[in-house]
Chains A and B, each alone.
Chain A
Amino acid sequence: MVVAGLVVLVGVLLAPAGSLLYESGGPEACANCHEMGRQVELWSGSAHQEVKCGACHGDALTMDARVHWTNARRVAEHWMGRIGEEPRLGEGQVLEMMSRCEGCHEQEFAAWQAGPHAATYERLFLDEKHNHTRHLMNDCLRCHGAHAEGAIGDVVAPLDTKGPWRLVREELRGQPAIPCMQCHAVHREGQVLGRKRLEAKMAGRQQETHRPGLGFYDRRSRAGVRAGLLRVPKMEDNGRVLRMSADGRQAVCYQCHAPLAGRQAGSGDDRTPKGVHEGLSCLACHEQHRGTTRASCATCHPRLSNCGRDVETMDTTFANAKSGHNVHWVACADCHAKGVPRRR
């Protein structure tokens, strides 16, 4: 009885102590523990090196039983001389960080929230039309819901095309399926030492410089792959190789808005510009978080216009979503079926 009481008492004291160990002193305290070596090292070469661990991961005063429990267990393992697994965050712990990102990046957060990528698990996994026509499978989680634990069957059920569908874990309903961490790797590999040498190696791929943490969260390896290592595919239009923008940032977009195997522009979810806008980057028109294009036309038009008209009111999907002239691939001949007129 006394022993049991002691164990409980020690457990209670140890739990927050374990957390404090990680979070109180920030990196110095965390770096003490070898399991975290990799995370600390990555962080110390990241744009967030001035930001303490706790600012993103929460502090010891957070009454998150799970954080305390895992930390306490890890400390106990140290004392018992066992070596812990490399720590991994659960989906809850990752999604919970969103509000902390918001705390420091209010503008970006608001823009993301107003844009398409704030789509929730409910929106993406309970869509009747989609689920009646396409099979639910693990691959869905490659592009949305990448931080979810388990397999597709742990997210949505039943896995058939009849429905009705429900989320296996109701708490995911309102959670974002494409959170900040999908496109931004906070702990990022290899930035301090290798950057210059590596990028010099990537022949033929000019990169516009981008923010260091930009990347794509790869569910299989459970890590962000930085944008410089992602590819903008070589796209074709009926056998003709298209001119592609050198903007390396759009490689992130291509991971999800991807073409089918033939690499034909416009296949699958692809939007590679051809026609009048061939060679432009997605981000030349789409605002990075909100996704909007409203303000973009004015950066090139009317300076670069042929028709002497206001492009914003011309017959494209910009002015009217139902237009037959998709702004991504409209060509002169689409509007000038009888040949392009002479400039007056």
Chain B
Amino acid sequence: MKRRSFIAGTAAVGGAGCGRGEGPAPGYRVLTENEIRTLDAWCEALIPADDAPGASWAKVPRYIDIQLTRKFRRLLPRYREALAAMERWLAAAGVEGMAARLELMEQGKAPRELFADGGKDAFEMVLAHTLQGFYGSPRHGGNRDYVSWVLLGVAPVPVRGREQAETGKN
């Protein structure tokens, strides 16, 4: 087989193997394109950009997506459910905007046909993870470029000499 056709072949297989459509959005682990879009708007409404970047720029959805394959693995069904409910709600008329909807959820006043408890549970879950993703270490996938630490004045890596090496304490 000629190298070119071999490469073309594997690339085609690769495309199929990596999965589109129902599979994860490009660059993500589990959540689909639709789910990421909704989650992104959700997180951004919780920590919106002003003169500083917000949750979306900080890649909070990426943090949640990665953790849904690890620490939060058990929560995947709850996320899927919440995101689907939110998608349906967004498509329906009535309330304007994401922020207004989240306010209702916080008070447990979202439509019961979408969220059994009026949305309180989903609201708290996404809020907790959005804060973690925004303020945690970038190594977990969020807090892109240490954006929140810069805002807080925390040095990503402090300047620290080798004093411990001299005393032998560690």
Question: A residues engaging B (CB < 8 A)?
Answer: 17, 20-21, 24-25, 29, 31-35, 37-38, 40-41, 75, 78-79, 83, 86, 134-135, 137-140, 143, 189-190, 193-194, 197-198, 201-202, 216, 218, 220-223, 225-226, 229-231, 233, 254-255, 258-261, 267-270
* Interface of chain B residues 1 through 53 with chain A (CB within 8 A): 6-7, 10-11, 13-15, 17-19, 24-30, 51-53
Question: Smallest Cβ distance from A77 to chain B, in angstroms?
Answer: 10
Q: Which of B28, B51, B144, B151 contacts A190 (CB 8 A)?
A: B144
Give the 10 A-B CB pairs with smallest separation, nearest first.
A37-B27, A190-B145, A268-B161, A221-B139, A258-B161, A135-B168, A78-B17, A32-B18, A21-B14, A24-B7
User: Is A194 in contact with B144, judged by CB distance below 8 angstroms?
Assistant: yes
User: Is A40 in contact with B139, judged by CB distance below 8 angstroms?
Assistant: no
Question: Smallest Cβ distance from B4 to chain A, in angstroms?
Answer: 9
Contacts of B151 in A (CB 8 A): 201
Supply 9 A–B pairs (Cβ within 8 Å), ascending by A: A33-B14, A37-B27, A78-B19, A134-B168, A135-B168, A190-B147, A198-B150, A223-B139, A269-B162
* Chain B residue with the shortest CB-CB distance to A226: B145
Known: A223-B139, A225-B146. A139 touches B164 (CB 8 A): yes
User: Is B57 in contact with A229, judged by CB distance below 8 angstroms?
Assistant: no
Known: A20-B7, A139-B170. A230 touches B156 (CB 8 A): yes
* Interface of chain B residues 56 through 96 with chain A (CB within 8 A): 57, 62, 66, 69
Contacts of B159 in A (CB 8 A): 231, 233, 254-255, 258-259
Q: Which of B29, B144, B155 contacts A231 (CB 8 A)?
A: B155
User: Is A222 in contact with B139, judged by CB distance below 8 angstroms?
Assistant: yes
B119 at the interface (CB under 8 A from A): no
Number of A-B contacts (CB under 8 A): 140
User: Is A25 in contact with B7, judged by CB distance below 8 angstroms?
Assistant: yes
User: Is A258 in contact with B156, judged by CB distance below 8 angstroms?
Assistant: no
User: Is A134 in contact with B166, judged by CB distance below 8 angstroms?
Assistant: yes
User: Is B14 in contact with A230, judged by CB distance below 8 angstroms?
Assistant: no
User: Is A268 in contact with B162, judged by CB distance below 8 angstroms?
Assistant: yes
B163 at the interface (CB under 8 A from A): yes
Contacts of A34 in B (CB 8 A): 18, 24-29
Greatest chain B CB density within 10 A among A37, A193, A226 is at A37
Question: Smallest Cβ distance from A255 to chain B, in angstroms?
Answer: 7
